[in-house]
Amino acid sequence: MSYLILCDSCTDFTPAMEQDSHFIRIPLTLHVGDRDIIDDETFDQKDFLRRVSETPECPKSSCPSPEKYMEYFDQADDIYIITLSGHLSGSFNSAELAKQMYSEEHAPKNIHVFDSKSASAGQTLSALEIQKRIEKGVPFGDIVSQVEDFISHMGTKFVLETLEMLRKNGRLSNITALLVNALNIKLVMTSDGNGQIDKYSQGRGMKKAIGKMAEAVKADAVSPSESTLVISHCNNASRAELVKETILATVPFRDAIITETGGISSLYAADGGIVVAY
């Protein structure tokens, strides 16, 4: 059976995923000031971060249309779709609408939309979990149930260099952001299990915050010796390596993958941000 894994562009593709024709990036659009930026292979991260720093208004994003997803539905027998958290974007709803519209005009087909309840590295890990099962010959329906269960237990943690983006988009109060920045406190954030952002812990300075994040991963990682750790970074490869070393020093993951944030992930993580999923 042929298959495609359609990933909205908040999924941070690894180099191997970039070269694998089974993975398709469905781009969102970023709006910075009066400029629209398509989050595809033409995305220039450094230019984007510069524009964000120079623009007082909060950047925004718009999700792909249902038609963008539907373009690929006839190209494979099995279609899997991974979107960022439905609490952060309309991408999940758009993909679900695409599935509904297609089903109204075509014979029944294996199409499933996964709400990653995460973003960035969490979507990457979910997509890789789908492909891992496909390569083992697991049937479509079983893959759907197994990966939905995986997502419900997946861990996501992130540490940001700055909280300015969370402040701008209303996810953090002005007073909290000012106090945290003034005291050089770095928050370790998490998904609350339902795709919404929550505080997990904090550290004074980035190094201590990374240590706190490693402790958090150790506390709730399930069967790490059989699992993959995905680390996404926004314009800071050396920090991603430090995170990898710090976590693997105490948590024996089977393997660890480092990837760079794309456009939407860079919008959320901001310059220097780190996201891990496991």
Helix (H, G, I), strand (E, B) or coil at 174: helix
Distances (CA, A) of 80 to 70, 89, 194: 12, 18, 20
CATH code for the domain defined by 3-153: 3.40.50.10170
d(CA 19, CA 3): 15
What is the rounded CA–CA span in Å between residue 264 and residue 29? 8
Residue 150 has pLDDT above 80, yes or no: yes
Domains 3-153 and 156-277 share a fold: no
Q: Give the Å distances, CA to CA, from 230 to 125, 174, 241.
A: 6, 31, 12
Taking 90 as the threshold, does the pLDDT of residue 201 lie above it? no
Query: How does pLDDT run across 40-86, given as a tens digit for each residue?
Result: 999 999 999 999 989 888 889 999 999 999 999 999 999 999 999 99
- The answer to whether 113 and 84 are in contact (CB under 8 A) is no
Tens of pLDDT along 209-235?
A: 999 999 999 999 999 999 999 999 999
Model-level pTM greater than 0.75? Answer: yes
Tokens for 98, please give them.
């695409």
Q: Which fold has domain 156-277?
A: Hypothetical Protein Tm841; Chain: A;domain 3 (3.30.1180)
Domain edges within the chain: 3-153, 156-277
